[in-house]
Amino acid sequence: MVPDEEVNGGDGPSRDDAAAEDDAPAVDDAADDEDDAPAVDDALRAGIVLYERGYHHAAHDPWEAAWLPRDGTDADLLQGLIQLTAAVHHARDHNWSGATGLATSGYEYLAAVPDDHAPVDLDPARRFLARLAVDPEHAERHDPPPLRYEGGAVGVDGLGFDALALAVGAVAEETSLDEGIVADAIRYAREEQGSGQARFRGLLADLVAEDPERRAVAYARLESHVDRERAKERDVEGLF
């Protein structure tokens, strides 16, 4: 239950009323082996980069990938952030019951995370969700709260390779880019590591840009580079 002192109003709906199966994937779909899932740190950073650049819906993808096989405090943290983005999405679509239910359960997940466990400053998110639980139109009047990681903003340049790949994959799906092109670009960027080159990594980072024009230019260049690398691979295959 969201406490009165958080919202200066009445209690919001209970966590049991949290909405939308599509926003809270079934545990039955969880991966059997946690080792196959992204590291929590990579997922947090990737999702925050997307969230802070306005990709609020796409941000849940990295968090969800890390959350599915986990339980305990890490799972509460990731699930709370997932429900934050889902609550904002529902509120902006004027699905008030979905927004209030998810805001309440999201608040309760984040309230269960000790501050000394989470590298993310959760207080702004908790306050926002507490207000949203009783006033879903709050999301129309106020921007979603900032998410700060270890006291600062997370930039694309500061992402490790695995975190960048998570962020780029989510943007590709959200913006309907050719996922085959993007997947090959990620593969080529991985192969570049340690070679002193960063051609593919730089273009992948530009795919996460807020500016649609910059993203389109980066994708066009990336597609051209991928086509050339694919042609080289076909030429090599033809030799054997």
Examine the domain organization and report whether 195 and 116 are in the same domain.
Answer: no
Instruction: Write out residues in the chain with pLDDT < 70, as ranges.
Output: 1-33, 240
In the chain, % helix, strand, coil (3-state, to 5) comes to: 65, 0, 35
Examine the domain organization and report whether 42 and 129 are in the same domain.
Answer: yes
Question: What confidence score (pLDDT) does residue 36 get?
Answer: 83
Examine the domain organization and report whether 23 and 104 are in the same domain.
Answer: yes
Q: Domain containing 211: what range?
A: 178-238
**Pick from 141, 169, 201: which residue ends a domain?**
141
Contact 88, 58 (CB under 8 A): no
Residue at 164 is within a domain:
no
Q: How many domains does the chain have?
A: 2
Question: What confidence score (pLDDT) does residue 112 get?
Answer: 96
Question: What confidence score (pLDDT) does residue 7 get?
Answer: 53
Examine the domain organization and report whether 115 and 22 are in the same domain.
Answer: yes
Examine the domain organization and report whether 188 and 135 are in the same domain.
Answer: no
Residue at 104 is within a domain:
yes
Residue at 124 is within a domain:
yes
Query: What number of other Cβ atoms are within 10 A of residue 177's Cβ?
Result: 20
**Pick from 96, 112, 141: which residue ends a domain?**
141
**Pick from 114, 141, 168: which residue ends a domain?**
141
- Read out DSSP for 112-133? TS-TTT-SB--HHHHHHHHHHH
Examine the domain organization and report whether 134 and 17 are in the same domain.
Answer: yes
Measured in residues, the chain has a length of 240
User: Can you give the CATH number for the domain in which 49 is found?
Assistant: 1.10.3450.10
Task: Report helix angle 60-67 to 161-174, nearest 10.
Answer: 120
